[in-house]
């Protein structure tokens, strides 16, 4: 039997909450990573998967993290936990390397990307500046950076998200490591860029004969890259096995739930299953066989008619000149009452700009937006005030869109006070409690602050804040993209329930095409600020007309592909 490259045995990691109390984040897990193989570590936020990888890299804070002395992390027969700091640093920079989740916070903004890659080569490979630059150019070319001779002297902010992630990969493979740890390397990327990164990591693994520990919360993604899977929950391993066994015959209810929670391209059940359905129920939950009908007939009442919408941004050029960038050009669509329009496209396609311009958070350069026949873009601020109640937005990041100094109660009461909803604060408070219940939060949440909630719970608070005004149109800007698949399922179910109850119309902006197919009646595809295709959801996915739409659909993770 071949000795594994990495062997983790009885890993226990605790964090001190104060001087006398601690919480155990990883509870005695054990797993092996074979040579020249890809192992996926899967689980929701808080499952302990990233903590486990940081323990392998020796990046846990010595002040707050406690690794149990009986734990063992063996790399090629050497216990990493027994090495000195200098030995660990040399090993983990050279033979074990890591790609972090967020490249913008991992790359130093004040140094060029070439300098940052060369620094690794100088430190671990003893190269001089000339050798390091030549090797950096070769690495940038290997990971698919266009025009590496120019990009080598660019700063991180001058690169796109996908290019930044490629720079991180170049840095990670610079010293030809034997083990590459990829911690959620595609979470914030468009579906096409995500596929490129997955294919790149897989190609590099085969070319360099290295092993990969791929950490993610998306099992569909795992099926495209991994040889075996480890499923974690609450700091424990719930199931592990070969990729085919996990996908075709999962044994643990939690694994089954992770596989079923994500919307499928093949079906649209009335509601998506959630984790609790599998952990608390017996067998497959009810309601998965009845399908939800989506689409437009053409006879629907139109609540919002957008005509030739345009938005340009300007930058100064020289002393007196200015340069125009057309973010949105000639966008037209009609939003039916009680229906959902999905807006898809890569980053920079203009989809978020459309949403923000309709909300008048950007000033339109051209076009009209007729809300019940009246152009909301041409109104004065005073005239538009009455329409703010009728059109609301849920922003992408619930961590940034909720005031950290306000309690949840204050967050919910403020819009009602501004728009004089309710006779007094007593009545408004009662309405706020009712809204919390509607979005699945306890009354006790009213007195707590946003930082005390998870990402999914914060997004529910953001939805409740929008509902205080009982809007007719809700713009959902990537509102489920950062959530675990199970929490995403809960929010999508909630949005569908609210739409049925209040007959609301949604503009659902997303780069996740599986989610859009599930929730949208009609889909608008945008590329470089223009609409390239607009059709009913089922028709567009079944028979895409535009080449760009076909490219987007071909990049959707399909699950098991090998």
So what's the pLDDT on residue 411? 95
So what's the pLDDT on residue 447? 94
Q: Indicate the length of the chain as a whole number.
A: 562
Q: How far apart are CA 80 and CA 56, in angstroms?
A: 8
- What domains sit in the chain, N to C, each tagged with a CATH number? 37-51+85-253 (3.40.50.300)
Residues 160, 163, 166: CA angle, nearest 5 degrees: 155
So what's the pLDDT on residue 285? 67
226 contact partners, CB below 8 Å, separation of at least 6: 38, 39, 40, 214, 243
Please count the other Cβ atoms lying within 10 Å of the Cβ belonging to residue 91.
Answer: 18
Token output for 561: 């592909």
**Closest C-alpha among 220, 162, 163 to residue 189:** 162
**Closest C-alpha among 340, 339, 369 to residue 354:** 369
Token output for 352: 């978020």
Q: How far apart are CA 400 and CA 491, in angstroms?
A: 18
Residues 242, 272, 241: CA angle, nearest 5 degrees: 10
Contact 509, 340 (CB under 8 A): no
Chunked into runs of 10 residues, the chain (562 residues) has average pLDDT values of: 89 88 92 96 88 92 88 94 89 89 82 95 92 95 90 90 88 93 82 86 92 89 91 95 93 90 87 84 67 90 96 82 88 96 90 94 95 93 90 84 93 93 92 89 92 82 89 90 80 90 94 90 95 95 94 80 47
With tokens 């952990």, the residue in question is: 279
CA distances from 447 to 116, 126, 412, 436, 462 (A): 46, 57, 11, 12, 15
Token output for 453: 């909630």
Alpha helices in 48-155 (DSSP H): 49-57, 85-94, 103-106, 113-125, 129-142, 148-151
Please count the other Cβ atoms lying within 10 Å of the Cβ belonging to residue 203.
Answer: 13
So what's the pLDDT on residue 534? 96
Backbone φ, ψ for residue 422 (5° rounding): 90, 150
So what's the pLDDT on residue 459? 85
DSSP letter at 84 equals -
DSSP letter at 2 equals P
């Amino acid at each position: 039997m071949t000795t594994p490259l990495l062997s983790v045995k009885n890993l226990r990691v605790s964090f001190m909450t104060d001087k006398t109390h601690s919480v155990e984040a990883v509870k005695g897990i054990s797993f092996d990573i074979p040579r020249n193989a890809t192992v996926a570590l899967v689980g929701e936020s808080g499952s302990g998967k990233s903590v486990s990888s940081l323990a392998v890299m020796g990046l846990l804070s010595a002040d707050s993290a406690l690794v149990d002395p009986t734990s063992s992390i063996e790399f090629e027969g050497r216990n990493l936990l027994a090495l000195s700091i200098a030995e660990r640093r040399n090993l983990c920079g050279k033979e074990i390397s890591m790609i972090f989740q967020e490249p913008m916070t991992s790359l130093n903004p004040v140094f060029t990307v070439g300098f940052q890659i060369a620094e690794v080569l100088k430190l671990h490979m003893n190269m001089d500046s000339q050798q390091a630059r030549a090797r950096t150019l070769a690495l940038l070319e290997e990971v698919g950076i266009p025009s590496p001779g120019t990009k080598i002297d660019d700063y991180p902010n001058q690169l796109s998200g996908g290019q930044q992630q490629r720079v991180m990969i170049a840095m990670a493979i610079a010293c030809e490591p034997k083990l590459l740890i990829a911690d959620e390397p595609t979470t914030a990327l468009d579906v096409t860029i995500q596929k490129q990164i997955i294919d790149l990591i897989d190609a590099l693994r085969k070319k360099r004969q290295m092993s990969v520990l791929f950490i993610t919360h998306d099992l569909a993604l795992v099926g495209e890259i991994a040889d075996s899977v480890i499923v974690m929950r609450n700091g424990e391993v719930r199931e592990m096995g070969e990729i085919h066994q996990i996908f075709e015959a999962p044994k643990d209810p939690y694994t089954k739930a992770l596989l079923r929670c994500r919307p499928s391209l093949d079906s649209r059940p009335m509601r998506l299953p959630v984790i609790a359905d599998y952990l608390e129920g017996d067998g497959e939950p009810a309601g998965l066989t009845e399908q939800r009908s989506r689409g437009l007939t053409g006879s629907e009442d139109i609540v919002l008619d957008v005509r030739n919408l345009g938005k340009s941004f300007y930058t100064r050029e020289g002393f007196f000149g200015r340069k125009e960038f057309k973010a949105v050009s000639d966008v037209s669509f009609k939003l039916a009452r009680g229906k959902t329009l999905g807006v898809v496209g890569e980053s920079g396609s203009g989809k978020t700009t459309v949403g923000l311009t309709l909300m008048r958070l950007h000033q339109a350069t051209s076009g009209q937006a007729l809300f019940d026949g009246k152009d909301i873009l041409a109104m004065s601020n005073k005239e538009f005030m009455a329409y703010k109640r009728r059109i609301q937005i849920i922003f992408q990041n619930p961590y940034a869109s909720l005031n950290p100094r306000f309690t949840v109660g204050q967050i919910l009461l403020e819009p009602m006070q501004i728009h004089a909803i309710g006779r007094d604060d007593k009545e408004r408070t009662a309405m706020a409690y009712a809204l919390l219940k509607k979005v699945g939060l306890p009354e006790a949440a009213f007195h707590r602050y946003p930082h005390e909630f998870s990402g999914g719970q914060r997004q529910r608070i953001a939805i409740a804040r929008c509902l205080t005004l009982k809007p007719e149109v809700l713009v959902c800007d990537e509102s489920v993209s950062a959530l675990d698949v199970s929490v995403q399922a809960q929010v999508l179910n909630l949005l569908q329930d609210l739409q049925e109850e209040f007959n609301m119309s949604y503009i659902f902006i997303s780069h996740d095409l599986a989610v859009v197919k599930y929730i949208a009646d009609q889909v608008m595809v945008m590329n470089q600020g223009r609409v390239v295709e607009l059709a009913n959801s089922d028709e567009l996915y079944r028979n895409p007309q535009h080449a760009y739409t076909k490219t987007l659909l071909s990049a959707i993770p399909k699950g098991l592909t090998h």
